[in-house]
């Protein structure tokens, strides 16, 4: 039995450590695993360091789109289109002529307003001349009164003289020194002088009445021109305003670009009659574009106005990176101001993470080098580390 057991132990396989080749391979495996572990750990440390230095404190969204405060061009006066000088997608500068309307009606209106202005100036001149004439008539009536008063004084003197002559003759009529005929003549002379005196007094009253009428005319004439000049008179000023409006309407038949940009949504053709206030095209100022980025509500813990932003557009790809600044945060989510807001007070309510628009202003020089178009998709990353 002991011999069989010894034989069995002699026939058993040798341990691995007894094989030098296997031991060498195992050592090489362990060394490779240690090297791999060191490499992985180093890569993890490097990635963690890179993430901490460059990505920590940054919030990202791909729900961002290019926008711009587009200028809607409208016709301010009505009329048929005479000429269209731009086409869709054409770049224009502020002040460039876009559309010319037929200005025949506006020219006639301007001529009519100018004629009305000349007539108003003429009426003011007539009123001024009337006031001068009324002033002269008042002065003349004053002279007539003075003349009538002088005649009354002469008439009073004549009456006194005739009365004295009559009294003297009447006192000696009983002595026979004065005949009856002479006494009658003296009495007639006195009566004539008294009549002349009454006529002179009536002349004064008539002259004063005439002066009163002339004074009324003078007041009416001066009321038209008092405190004004030919340029500040109400009728003249109103006529001048109508001329200015007619001239402005004439200028508005030439429609110019309000801003620099690209012509979009052109809706006007030659021969078409446009109404005042009708939109005819849109000018998109691509060099003043901005980005509205919609971030999740859970990302707003450290987002602040003024923080730097990096943006990438699908239009140019990752080769072009835009820089910008957060310039505003919307006052509500898009769902809150939608046409049909969500009714969350229902039995089947499910919480949905909301997004809030953030306005990002882009660098003008970058926009000039790489122009964008309204509606393009963007990816925005806000660096919030400066918040601390």
- Roughly how many angstroms between the first and final C-alpha of the chain, as a whole number? 85
Percent residues over pLDDT 70 in the chain: 78
Query: What is the torsion angle, in degrees rounded to the nearest 10, for the CA atoms of residue 95, residue 101, residue 106 and residue 108?
Result: 130
8 Å CB contact between 368 and 289:
no
| CA angle in degrees (0–180, nearest 5) for 287-290-293 | 155
Q: How many CB atoms lie within 10 A of CB 301?
A: 9
Q: Where do the domains of the chain lie?
A: 59-69+285-387, 71-101+248-283, 106-238
Judged on CB neighbours under 10 Å (0-12, 13-18, 19+), 382 is buried
Name beta bridge partners: 382.
59, 309
**What is the model's pTM?**
0.63
Rounded mean pLDDT, 21-34: 81
3-state secondary structure of 60: strand
What CATH number labels 106-238?
1.10.287.620
Q: Is the pLDDT of residue 309 over 90?
A: yes
8 Å CB contact between 139 and 279:
no
**Given strand 97-101, what is the order of strands in its sheet?**
254-256, 97-101, 79-84, 273-274
> Which of 74-78, 317-321, 342-346, 371-375 shows the lowest mean pLDDT across its residues?
342-346
Structure confidence by residue, pLDDT tens digits, 342-363? 777 666 777 778 889 999 999 9
Q: Is the pLDDT of residue 83 over 90?
A: yes
Does domain 59-69+285-387 fall under CATH 2.40.30.170? My reply is: yes
Structure confidence by residue, pLDDT tens digits, 253-278? 999 999 999 999 999 999 999 999 99
Structure confidence by residue, pLDDT tens digits, 212-247? 666 666 666 666 666 677 788 888 889 999 999 999
Of residues 205 and 328, more confidence is placed in 328
Rounded mean pLDDT, 322-327: 94
What are 171's two structure tokens?
């006192």
Report how far residue 9's alpha carbon sits from residue 1's, in angstroms, rounded to the nearest whole number: 13
User: CATH second-level architecture of 71-101+248-283?
Assistant: Beta Barrel (2.40)
Nearest alpha-carbon partner for 188 in 175, 169, 172: 169
Q: What is the CA radius of gyration of the chain?
A: 55
8 Å CB contact between 242 and 116:
yes
| pLDDT on residue 155 | 73
| pLDDT on residue 202 | 78
Report how far residue 58's alpha carbon sits from residue 168's, in angstroms, rounded to the nearest whole number: 135
Percent residues over pLDDT 90 in the chain: 38
Nearest alpha-carbon partner for 99 in 118, 113, 86: 86
Of residues 97 and 172, more confidence is placed in 97
**To which H or E segment does residue 136 belong?**
helix 104-171
Q: Is the pLDDT of residue 115 over 90?
A: yes
| pLDDT on residue 196 | 76
The 3-class SS string of 61-114 reads: EEEEEEECCCEEEECCCCEEEEEECCCCCCEECCCCEEEEECCHHHHHHHHHHH
Q: Is the pLDDT of residue 104 over 60?
A: yes
8 Å CB contact between 112 and 282:
no
Mean per-residue pLDDT of the chain: 81
| pLDDT on residue 147 | 73
Report how far residue 178's alpha carbon sits from residue 192's, in angstroms, rounded to the nearest whole number: 20
Which residues, 6 or more positions from 299, have their beta carbon under 8 angstroms from its beta carbon? 59, 61
Which residues, 6 or more positions from 54, have their beta carbon under 8 angstroms from its beta carbon? none
């Amino acid at each position: 039995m002991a011999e069989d057991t010894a034989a069995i132990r002699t026939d058993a396989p040798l341990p691995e450590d007894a094989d030098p080749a296997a031991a060498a391979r195992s050592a090489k495996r362990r060394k490779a695993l240690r090297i791999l572990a060191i490499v992985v750990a180093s890569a993890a440390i490097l990635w963690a360091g890179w993430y901490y230095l460059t990505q920590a404190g940054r919030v990202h969204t791909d729900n961002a789109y290019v926008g711009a405060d587009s200028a809607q061009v409208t016709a301010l006066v009505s009329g048929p289109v005479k000429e269209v000088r731009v086409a869709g997608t054409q770049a224009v500068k502020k002040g460039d002529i876009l559309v010319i309307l037929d200005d025949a009606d506006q020219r006639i209106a301007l001529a009519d307003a100018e004629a009305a202005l000349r007539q108003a100036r003429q009426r003011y001149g007539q009123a001024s001349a009337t006031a001068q004439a009324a002033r002269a008539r008042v002065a003349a009536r004053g002279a007539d009164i003075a003349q009538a008063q002088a005649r009354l004084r002469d008439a009073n003197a004549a009456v006194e003289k005739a009365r004295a002559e009559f009294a003297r003759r009447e006192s000696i009529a009983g002595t026979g020194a004065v005949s009856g005929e002479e006494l009658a003549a003296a009495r007639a002379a006195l009566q004539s002088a008294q009549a002349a005196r009454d006529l002179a007094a009536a002349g004064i009253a008539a002259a004063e009445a005439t002066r009163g009428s002339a004074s009324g005319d003078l007041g009416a004439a001066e009321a038209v021109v008092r405190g004004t000049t030919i340029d500040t008179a109400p009728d003249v000023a109103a006529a001048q305003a109508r001329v200015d409006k007619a001239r402005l309407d004439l200028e508005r038949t030439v429609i110019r670009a309000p801003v620099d940009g690209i012509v979009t949504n052109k809706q006007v053709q030659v021969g078409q009659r446009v109404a005042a206030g009708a939109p005819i095209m849109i000018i998109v100022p691509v060099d003043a574009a901005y980005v509205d980025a919609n971030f999740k509500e859970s990302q707003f813990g450290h987002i602040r106005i003024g923080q730097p932003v990096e943006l990438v557009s699908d239009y140019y790809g990752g080769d072009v990176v835009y820089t910008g600044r957060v310039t505003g945060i919307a006052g509500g989510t898009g769902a809150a101001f939608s046409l049909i807001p969500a009714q969350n007070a229902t039995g089947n309510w499910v919480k949905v993470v909301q997004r809030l628009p953030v306005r990002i202003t882009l660098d003008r020089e970058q926009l000039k080098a790489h122009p964008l178009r309204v509606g393009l998709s963007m990816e925005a990353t806000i660096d919030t580390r400066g918040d601390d």
